Structure 1
């Protein structure tokens, strides 16, 4: 009789455990956004206010000098649910000892194929040695109501020069940033570069219809170049500059550049010769 009683008690317990496990799995399946919307991304940090939490993601989990693609999710603090419809703007700010300035950044829009992820880019042209000095303010609107969240952020220094800020011969300040290749290969790489002009300390519009001459060199290997490179031209679809970058071997490369306006006037940079081994306008790449 004891054995029979044990079976009667055990069966409903097992049934309840299976039911609980099944329900838990169904809950996850009903909310694939929880795991899939930011799959492959790492959270950088959160910006919070009394109503919402803004989660910031990228592939590295950190901000670095140069080009940063940033994914954003907006969570309702009361319901713990992610909001699908919102409009955003942002203002990165660098605090200097006697002044402050912003940096190039894009508009923020819904990420392709995502329900709760919004995306944009920020190009940090500088940072302090300890990564301090920057803050980020995000203004946003949900159902016609305006909100804001702000906090300090850490911007780490990239090992190589993937962004450069300079004064052109036309007395305008420009910022050129390396965007691609992310994972260089031996062979022909799609080279993508951003070009922005500083109109004010807060405004950095995209520069259109210029040309960038390219001459990649390996300083550690006799400063040799490579074949089949092409100069960079403006692409209206993504508002970036594209060209072909030929890399014949792994190692440290200097991408010597010359920036020319729509009239082919050189604004910055020089040819590489035996006497002039590097342009004053360049980016660095190592793989």
Structure 2
């Protein structure tokens, strides 16, 4: 009899365990776990949410994720067609910025893209973003003013400049985001300004790099690799050797397909820095 009771108890516990495991399996993972909700706003009975790994929108490269929630059902919309238009409203003019199209991720409720802000907002000039999206064949539009700030460390990771060819370019660093004493993967994106609204990616140029530590006799580092264009990612990729912690100025030169220098200079004994550069401090 005691044995039967023990078996019966084991069966009950096993059933409870399986039931709990089944319930756990039904828990839906949050696809934005580890991301920050930078801004959200309501329009058209929907809540539009913008996420990033950063806490804010910064000047330079911003990878952004968008979700749209139906306020009534409290459920996220799956596979919505979404486009966006960031706009800077200055006192004398308006302009947009380099941006990608939005693509749907593995989670069908999440769309992903990037924006490259050239300048921060201030008391008189500001950025806003217009989101256009389609749900079940119906198109909606929503607009929100957003805060774009300079990076907290004050280091330059984007440059907008006129090349010697008369073209205005936007060059932004995309990695490393967490530099280390090592040979780091080094990536950047290059755009040209066709007009106030259009910034196509520039392909097949070359960006030479010469990292220096001004506080340490302006010494460089070994085993760097210049940035060359990668068609798959639409980025310029190379290697950045950082031999110690501290402040580094990454001196750059931009060369076109004919190897003509469009911006930047060599670092020499008489010229300690290039007019085109990024900065890193860690």
Fold conserved (TM > 0.5)?
A: yes
Matched, 1:246 2:246: no
Matched, 1:88 2:82: yes
| 8 A contact 1:130–1:156 mirrored in 2 | no
| 8 A contact 1:37–1:115 mirrored in 2 | no
Question: Using the alignment, how far apart are the partners of 1:204 and 1:228 within structure 2?
Answer: 33
TM-score by length of 1: 0.87
Per the alignment, residue 37 of structure 1 pairs with: 31
For structure 1, which runs of at least 5 residues remain unmatched after alignment?
A: 1-18
- SS of corresponding position for 1:220: helix
- SS of corresponding position for 1:234: strand
| 8 A contact 2:104–2:112 mirrored in 1 | yes
Per the alignment, residue 49 of structure 1 pairs with: 43
Per the alignment, residue 174 of structure 2 pairs with: 179
1:84-233 pair list within 5 angstroms: 84-111=78-105, 113-129=106-122, 133-158=126-151, 159-233=154-228
Question: Using the alignment, how far apart are the partners of 2:198 and 2:41 within structure 1?
Answer: 23
Count of residue pairs brought into register by the alignment? 262
Tell me by how many angstroms 1:144 deviates.
1.5
Question: Using the alignment, how far apart are the partners of 1:199 and 1:47 within structure 2?
Answer: 31
Deviation per CA, 1:113-144: give whole Å up to 9, x if none: 32311110000010135696111111111122
Deviation per CA, 1:180-220: give whole Å up to 9, x if none: 00111111000000101111100011000000011011111
| 8 A contact 1:210–1:233 mirrored in 2 | yes
Matched, 1:276 2:274: no
Deviation per CA, 1:91-130: give whole Å up to 9, x if none: 111111110101001110012x323111100000101356
| 8 A contact 2:161–2:168 mirrored in 1 | yes
* Stretches (4+) displaced over 6 A: none
Deviation per CA, 1:242-273: give whole Å up to 9, x if none: 00100000111111000011111110000000
Deviation per CA, 1:33-80: give whole Å up to 9, x if none: 4xx210100100113212311100111221011100101111112211
Question: Using the alignment, how far apart are the partners of 1:29 and 1:165 within structure 2?
Answer: 50
